[in-house]
């Protein structure tokens, strides 16, 4: 049996799980680089029976799956992966399994980005390294409004920290009720009120047809000139053209992004030079505990499938 582990950017997958001990006789190959070209991807994976995919870094649409006749098991980290055509996989005889996740990493990074933007940590670091000292007065978050778009598990974690900082936490999503908002530690408001009043807007929605472009010209234009927008969910939730137009004006005051339509972000992409932005290379889930869970469960998935009793199937 041959196993391919894709997109091992940090080259840590081999050390975070017992691949050889639990998969005796299997040959496991770890790919540190991203295989962006579809033909290159297919050529690289043709000899493998099992592929382990890290989140949505590499897509497996019908056309790719059709061209991998030897593939029998596709393991994705997490229990949801929009980049895998699960129906096509079943059609071609490929079982898809997932893994458990760790719920805190993205919420922690969300606050790192919020505080980095509001306190301009990167700019202050650059200034002091260049011989400078205090150059501005920082705004306060206590007593101001934190607007959460999508008050699910992650949104509720972000809300709890906002409350601890003394912020007025408000939330909106299409189906959110006042009762559910209160349970999540927030006060339900209308979408237009949230964008017009919040000092910080943070987005925590699942990307779907109904949520794509959820933050567009109207929402960005309604934001306070001293407000900040953070997206650690999926880039498609924000209309890219609208974001580019907004950053060419004077609002919002800053935008923090951990997610992008194309990843890794291509050289020369306009966001690399965009003003008033804090950019992170999709690090929300990239934590030690999360990766140990991902890869340990991936090995367990392969072991169970090999024994004829697959687990965590999608």
Q: Which residues are catalytic?
A: 234, 263, 282
Closest CA to 158 of 193, 122, 205, 220: 205
Closest CA to 295 of 45, 111, 30: 30
Strand ranges (E), the chain = 2-5, 27-30, 50-53, 73-76, 95-97, 145-149, 168-172, 187-188, 200-203, 228-231, 254-257, 277-279
Structure tokens at 120: 């301009």
Residue where the block lists tokens 């974001």: 243
Measured between alpha carbons, how far is 210 from 208 in angstroms, rounded to an integer? 5
> Checking phi first, is residue 115 left (phi over 0); if not, alpha (psi -120 to 50) or beta?
alpha
């Amino acid at each position: 049996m041959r196993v391919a582990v894709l997109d091992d950017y940090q080259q840590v997958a081999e050390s975070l799980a017992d691949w050889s001990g639990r998969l005796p006789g299997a040959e496991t190959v770890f790919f540190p680089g991203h295989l962006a070209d579809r033909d290159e991807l297919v050529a690289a994976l043709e000899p493998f029976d099992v592929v382990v995919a890290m989140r949505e870094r590499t897509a497996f649409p019908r056309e790719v799956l059709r061209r991998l006749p030897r593939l029998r098991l596709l393991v994705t980290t997490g229990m949801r992966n929009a980049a895998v055509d699960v129906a096509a996989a079943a059609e071609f005889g490929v079982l898809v399994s997932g893994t458990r996740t760790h719920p805190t990493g993205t919420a922690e990074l969300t606050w790192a980005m919020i505080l980095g933007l509001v306190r301009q940590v990167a700019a202050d670091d650059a200034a002091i390294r260049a011989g400078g000292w205090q150059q501005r007065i920082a705004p306060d978050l206590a007593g101001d409004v934190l607007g959460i778009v999508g008050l699910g598990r992650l949104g509720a974690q972000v809300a709890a920290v906002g409350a601890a900082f003394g912020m007025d936490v408000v939330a909106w999503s299409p189906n959110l009720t006042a009762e559910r908002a209160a349970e999540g530690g927030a006060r339900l408001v209308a979408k237009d009120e949230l964008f017009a009043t919040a000092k910080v807007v943070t987005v925590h929605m699942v990307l779907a047809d109904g949520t794509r472009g959820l933050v567009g010209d109207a929402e960005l234009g309604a934001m306070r000139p001293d407000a900040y927008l953070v997206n650690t969910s999926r880039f498609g939730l924000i209309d890219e053209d609208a974001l580019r137009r907004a950053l060419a004006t004077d609002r919002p005051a800053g935008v923090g992004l951990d997610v992008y339509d194309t990843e890794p972000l291509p050289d020369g992409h306009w966001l690399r030079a965009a003003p008033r932005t804090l950019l992170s290379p999709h690090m929300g889930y990239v934590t030690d505990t999360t990766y140990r869970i991902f890869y340990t469960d991936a090995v367990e998935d392969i072991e169970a499938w090999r024994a004829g009793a697959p687990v965590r199937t999608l």
